[in-house]
Chains A and B, each alone.
Chain A
Amino acid sequence: MSTGPEIGAITALPRVGRMSSRPEWLVILGRAARSRRGTIGLTIAGFVVLVAIVGPFVAPHSPTAPVTETFATPSGSAPLGGDVLGRDVLSRVLAGGWELLAIAAAATALGVSAGVALGIAAAYYGRFTDALIMRLVDVFLAFPQLVFALLLVSVLGPKIWLIIIAVGISHAPQVARVIRSVALDVCERDFVKAVELMDTPARRVMSGEILPNLMSVVMVEVGLRFTYSILIIAGLSFLGFGIQPPAANWGLMINENRIGLVVNPWAVIAPAGLIAILTIGLNTFTDAIARASLGVDRPAEEVVMATGIILDRSA
């Protein structure tokens, strides 16, 4: 049934015991994946991820060995032609994805974790802590993300761990900002006070009470930041500060091969296209998560009515 699936799904919740005690964020993730938007996004992104993972094993040639001429046009042995050094573009595209994705994932995990921790702490402690964290965040936000990462990498040299840290740190302030604004509301709820009355340490209040109520926002942030991570890492590579040649890397490939754009455009289009497709797919899925979590966090009016929930009836 395509009409009003969310309303039906929520009002039809069984009264007795949910089937399992799956955490809410998994429920949201599942619901997002099943929605039309989510399926499309996941399929698109999944395709690129598959290419990146399986690619190195199926590449016809070594990604670093010259097998054809500089910027050779597509031929039987090199279906996407040759690159600036006469290496097989197809092989380099297939081999150059996983590293980019792995670094992006690590940077995202780092950045979102740090941002969530900072955001919740700022919202929960308030006052001086809040002011300190948020002003610090403001300073960081004054730098464009790419410039900030460039700054670190150009000073300390291009190392993979440094790229992860640089990109992660450049995400943290933005995540912190978003999380703080949502957490402020959650911190004020009575259930937080109820737990404080149990002499619970602040750390557990933040991780056990506040964080679970932010999971939908966190998931949206993860999706969004992962996309940005890929773009920044590819951008760093393009500018020559990321992963160094001769490694095959999509961002690096665009930089290396742009001089031959008119001779063999595939050497640029293939990596750039994959990055673009992945970005579109991830963004679509992230959007699906955001929509799926709406029904959970803010029940629609119908649901309010059906469940008879009344909020703040008296002053």
Chain B
Amino acid sequence: MTDVLTPTDHGSHLLLAVDRLKVVMAGSATDVVDDVSFTVEAGEVLGLVGESGSGKTTVALALMGYARRGLNIAGGSVLLTGQEVIGRSAAELRRLRGASVAYVAQDPTSALNPALKVGTQLREIFAAHPGAQNGASVNDRITELLSEVRLDSVSRALESYPHQLSGGQQQRVMLAMAFACRPKLIVLDEPTTGLDVTTQRHVLDSIRGLCRIYRVGAVYVSHDLAVVADIANTIGVMYAGRLVELGPAARVFRAPGHPYTRGLLRAIPSPTRAHVLEGMEGQPPRPGARPGGCCFGTRCEFAVAACETEFPAASDLDGTAHWARCIRAAEVCRLPALGELPLREHLPLVQADRPLLRIDALSAVYGDKPVLYDVSVDVHPQRCLAVVGESGAGKTTLARCIVGLHSSWSGAIEFDGNAVAHDRRRRPRDVIRSLQYVFQNPYTSLNPRKTVGRLVEQPLRELFDLPRAERDRRVVAALEDAALSGEYVNRYPDQLSGGERQRVAIARTLVVEPKLLVCDEVTSALDVSVQAAIVELLHRLKSERGLTLVLITHNLALVRSLADDVVILRDGRVVEQGQAVLDNPQTDYSAQLLADVPSLELASAP
């Protein structure tokens, strides 16, 4: 019996060596992940970034010898402290997991058992891995663990059920569980994605600290380059199931060698610099539909004829441990990554006669629970107001009060000088038309049983009385305004990518020619390259069509690249508002919020 707990000395500090890992769909030869190789040393944090569908989670799970249902690990090797993980029996893997390698899932609410107290779940680990107690009593170890992850009021937390803890606290419990057995390697799959910036900052600090103190190697999977920049020493960029670039974080961000990495960096809004965002055209090829040659070739602005024939091998850049799988990597990495992106000009506020939307002393309740207190905000025509705050700050409630989805409020909302009714059913049609709302998640806001044409036409049928030909004309025009084409009318939402779906959702609001568009976290379900394109679309609608925007978001970097005015909400109250909030925050809270935003500049600064 091999003892998986005993590390074998390999001379160096090499902890994990992944070699030509290949994962395929069960029952076919379609590869989901292919030819992925990298190493992690003790104490090193490898950031694995990529957009949805790039295979990063599949790689992360394969590190523990696990493949999701419908997938098989078809080849390659994963050496953890010199021992092969792939091909082990279920019993051996069980001993390995937790003890030598631990996993922190994206969503703590689904990873923790809702029926058991947190303390019980922590004790289960020590029942499964008695060796992890280190001689101390179980309770002492648990207390120690929870203080390591900086969870406050430990005794109360132990007696709580998961739902009684906040998202951040739950994720800390997950971290404590992962670190309980002092694993050699920890695999983190988007552990901060659902968290607020401030909580995210604290959780990242905990992870960084624990990895340093215990010399734990980490693989940190994320779609958010800024977060990865914050925590990782090494960055691996995944695209279409391949690792396309690998290198030290500072080098990858300052001088990316792969056009895809470069594209990603140019798509990310910066919290400090309001530059124009550049989305990437097209979308990643799906497994089974990958073109021959370079998998990025069809979207690449640097593509040459040779790219169509072979997928290039890794070419080293500048003699460091930085490589990219691109035949023009050496050229690409000499280009400035961000430098020449034009800055966005923000227009100064022209004092119009009256604001388009005036919210005066608005207080809202959900049942008995107050959500908004005395909120007063003006939205001026043809400007973009960003409503910023952490989750639970009341941003979405504010948006829903404006459009009439939430009617338990007091105070006044005036649109174009007239007070609007609480309930959407009592609002006149022209107010309904003028005030449109774009939902957060385009995967749920479009009826999957209707074609794009029907979806976009629907508000016209309900709110106007137009002949069919005119409706068709307007539908196509709205789709074109949203940077889609008339060809989309016969497609169903499930045939569209996330970005296309959100464009359809936007087209559906544009078709009734609104004056004000309320956008509720419209990019939070989308990848960064898609987000960039949507942001540019909204910006264009504002400047060309004279649309007024209310942007609800928790993403301060996004605010910087789109908004003219900013309102910061905290626990239902306005903390600060104005044009200069981001440049010159007047309250501690705003300043803290800004400071907590992860930024690429930190990593790429020389």
Residues of A at under 8 Å CB distance from B?
3-4, 7-8, 11-18, 21, 23-24, 189-191, 193-200, 209, 212-213, 215, 299-302, 305-315
Asked if B193 lies at the interface with its beta carbon under 8 angstroms from chain A, I say yes
With A197-B424, A198-B463, A314-B521 already in contact, the answer to whether A308 and B498 are too (CB < 8 A) is: yes
Please choose the segment from B273-281, B435-443, B473-481 that sits at the chain A interface, where 4 or more of its residues have CB less than 8 A away.
B435-443
Residue with the greatest number of chain A CB neighbours at <10 A, chosen from B287, B437, B448, B505:
B448
Q: Mark B457-470, 1 if CB is under 8 A from A, else 0.
A: 01100110000000
Report the bound CA distance from A78 to B266 in whole Å: 87
Contact A193 B405 (CB under 8 A): yes
Q: Is the CB of B51 within 8 A of A7?
A: no
The answer to whether A310 and B439 have CB atoms under 8 Å apart is no
Question: Of all chain A residues, which has the CB nearest B194?
Answer: A315
Given known A190-B441, A301-B68, contact A306–B521 (CB-CB < 8 A)? no
Give 14 new A-B contacts, CB below 8 A, not counting A301-B70, A307-B497: A13-B494, A190-B444, A191-B444, A191-B445, A197-B437, A199-B424, A212-B447, A305-B32, A306-B286, A307-B494, A308-B283, A308-B497, A312-B441, A313-B524
Q: Given A4-B25, A314-B193, decide whether A197 and B70 contact each other with a Cβ distance below 8 A.
A: no
A contact residues around B156 at 8 Å (CB): none
Inter-subunit contact B462/A190 (CB<8 Å)? no
Selected contact of B52 from candidates A3, A11, A198, A308, CB within 8 Å: A308
Residues in B whose Cβ lies below 8 Å from that of A189: 444-445
Contact between A190 and B445, CB atoms less than 8 A apart:
yes
Docked CA distance A32–B57 (Å): 33
Contact (Cβ within 8 A) A197 B432: yes
* Docked CA distance A312–B53 (Å): 15
Show 26 A/B contacts (Cβ-Cβ < 8 Å), sorted by A.
A3-B28, A4-B25, A11-B286, A15-B495, A190-B439, A191-B444, A194-B439, A195-B447, A197-B403, A197-B437, A198-B432, A199-B427, A199-B462, A300-B70, A301-B69, A302-B25, A302-B69, A306-B53, A308-B51, A309-B498, A310-B443, A314-B194, A314-B440, A314-B521, A314-B524, A315-B391
Considering the chains assembled together, what is the distance between the CA atoms of A14 and B492 in angstroms? 11
**Complex: chain B residue closest to A21, CB-CB:** B451
* Chain A residues whose C-beta falls within 8 Å of the C-beta of B424 in the assembled complex: 196-197, 199
Cα distance A73–B405 in the bound complex, in angstroms: 74
Q: A204 CB to closest chain B CB, in angstroms? A: 8
**How far in angstroms is the closest Cβ of chain B from A30?**
16
Question: How many Å lie between the Cα of A311 and that of B167 in the bound state?
Answer: 17
Determine if B525 and A310 form an interchain contact, defined as CB atoms under 8 angstroms apart. Answer: yes
Closest to A24 in B: B449
Interface residues in B507-549 by Cβ distance below 8 A to A read 508, 521, 524-525, 527
> How would residues 260 to 304 of chain B score, 1 for a CB under 8 Å from any chain A CB and 0 otherwise?
000000000000000000000001101110000000000000000
Given contacts A197-B424, A315-B194, contact A18 B448 (CB under 8 A): no
- CB atoms of B494 and A311 under 8 A apart: no
Distance (whole angstroms) from the CB of B475 to the closest CB of chain A: 14
Q: How far is the CA of A8 from the CA of B459 in the complex (A)?
A: 36
Interface centre among A4, A13, A310, A313, by most chain B C-beta atoms within 10 angstroms, is A313
Whether B446 is near chain A, meaning CB under 8 Å from some CB there, is yes
Complex interface: chain B residues within 8 A of A309 (CB): 52, 443, 498
**B447 and A209: CB pair below 8 A?**
yes
Kindly list chain B residues whose C-beta atoms are within 8 Å of the C-beta of A313.
193-194, 524-525
Q: Is the CB of A21 within 8 A of B490?
A: yes
B487, CB-defined interface residue at 8 Å: yes
Interchain CB contact (< 8 A) of B404 among A15, A197, A302: A197
Nearest A-chain residue to B530, judged by Cβ:
A308
Give bound CA distance, A155 to B284, whole Å.
68
Q: Interface size for chain B: under 10, 10 to 19, 20 to 34, or 35 or more residues? A: 35 or more
Residues of A contacting B458 with CB < 8 Å?
195, 198
Contacts A199-B424, A313-B525; A194 near B445 (Cβ below 8 A): yes
B26 at the interface (CB under 8 A from A): yes
Which chain B residues lie closer than 8 Å to A312 at the CB level?
441, 525
The verdict on A306 contacting B287 (CB below 8 Å), with A7-B70, A16-B491 known, is yes
Q: From residue B192, how far is it (CB to closest CB) to chain A in Å?
A: 11
Kindly state whether residue B195 has any CB partner on chain A within 8 Å.
yes
With A200-B462, A315-B195: A307-B70 Cβ-Cβ less than 8 Å: no
> Quick check: is B369 within 8 A (CB to CB) of the other chain?
no
A294 to B68 Cα, complex, angstroms: 18
Q: Is the CB of B167 within 8 A of A213?
A: no
In the assembled complex, the Cα of A213 lies from the Cα of B444 at a distance in Å of 12
Known: A18-B495, A199-B424. Contact between A311 and B286, CB under 8 A? no
> Closest Cβ of chain A: how far from B553's Cβ, in Å?
10
B354 at interface by CB-CB < 8 Å: no
B339 in the interface (beta carbon within 8 A): no
Q: What are the residues of chain A within 8 A of B391 when measuring CB–CB?
A: 315
A134 to B462, CA, bound (A): 32
A199 near B463 (CB under 8 angstroms)? yes
Cβ-defined contact, A307 with B53, below 8 A: yes
Return chain A residues, CB-CB under 8 Å to B52: 308-310
Decide: A199 near B425, CB < 8 A? Known: A3-B27, A300-B70, A314-B524. yes
Q: Mark B555-583, 1 if CB is under 8 A from A, else 0.
A: 00000000000000000000000000000
Whether a CB of chain A sits under 8 angstroms from the CB of B71 is yes
Q: Considering the chains assembled together, what is the distance between the CA atoms of A209 and B445 in angstroms?
A: 11
Residues on A with beta carbons closer than 8 Å to the beta carbon of B51 = 308
Measured in the bound complex, the distance between the Cα atoms of B53 and A306 in whole Å is 6
A37 to B569, CA, bound (A): 57
A222 to chain B: closest CB distance in Å? 18
Question: Inside 8 A of B429's CB, which chain A residues have their CB?
Answer: 199
Q: Who on chain B is nearest to A10 by CB?
A: B494
Q: Which residues of A contact B283 (CB under 8 A)?
A: 308
Q: Within the assembled complex, what's the spacing in Å between the Cα atoms of A209 and B448?
A: 9
Cα A193 to Cα B491 in complex, Å, equals 22
Q: Tell me whether B463 and A314 are in contact (CB under 8 A).
A: no
Minimum CB–CB distance for A306 against chain B, Å: 5
A11 touches B26 (CB 8 A): no
A302-B286 Cα distance, complex, nearest whole Å:
11
B109 to chain A, nearest CB (A): 10
In the docked arrangement, what's the CA distance between A154 and B224, Å? 70
Query: Cα distance A26–B477 when bound, in Å?
Result: 31
Task: Select one of B69, B167, B405, B444 contacting A197, CB under 8 A.
Answer: B405
Shortest Cβ gap from A11 to chain B (Å): 6
What is the minimal beta-carbon distance from A106 to any residue of chain B, in angstroms? 28
In the bound complex, CA of A23 to CA of B444 (Å): 19
Q: Does B380 contact A (CB under 8 A)?
A: no
In the A-B complex, the 10 residue pairs with the smallest Cβ-Cβ separation, listed nearest first, are A308-B53, A3-B27, A190-B445, A4-B27, A212-B449, A314-B524, A198-B462, A302-B70, A191-B447, A190-B444
B258 within 8 A of A: no
Interface status of B184 (Cβ within 8 A of chain A): no
Complex Cα gap A312–B440 (Å): 9
Q: A302 vs B450: C-alpha distance in the bound complex, in angstroms?
A: 24
CB atoms of B28 and A8 under 8 A apart: yes
Q: List, in ascending order, chain A residues with CB within 8 A of B405's CB.
A: 193, 196-197
Question: Does B554 reach chain A (CB closer than 8 Å)?
Answer: yes
In the complex, which residues of chain A have a beta carbon less than 8 angstroms from the beta carbon of B449? 23-24, 212-213, 215
A314, B491: Cβ atoms closer than 8 Å: no
A200 to B458 alpha-carbon distance, docked (Å) = 10
A197 to B491, CA, bound (A): 23
